[in-house]
Amino acid sequence: MEKIKCPICGTLIDDDDYVPCPYCAWAYVGIEEILDPNEREAFNLMSVNEAKKLLAEGKDKWGNPSQKNK
């Protein structure tokens, strides 16, 4: 299985759609590259930029402390 970088935190994750990143909880859906970074993504319920803002605050997409900060 191929690995890709999580579009939010850069962690290497399996290239499987809808499998959440173990650190930021973003579920890669395979369309992040074509979305406007401010466009809300239906599966993750937020935009890439919203998720990156939470990560910068040390939180995963659910608002919990990210695994990298534990």
pLDDT (0 to 100) of residue 69: 55
Full-model pTM:
0.86
Q: Report in angstroms the alpha-carbon separations of 37 from 9, 34, 40, 49, 67.
A: 14, 9, 8, 5, 23
Pseudo-torsion of CA 13, 19, 24, 28, nearest 10°? Answer: 80
pLDDT > 60? residue 70: no
Q: Average pLDDT for residues 37-57, to the nearest whole number?
A: 94
Q: Average pLDDT for residues 40-61, to the nearest whole number?
A: 94
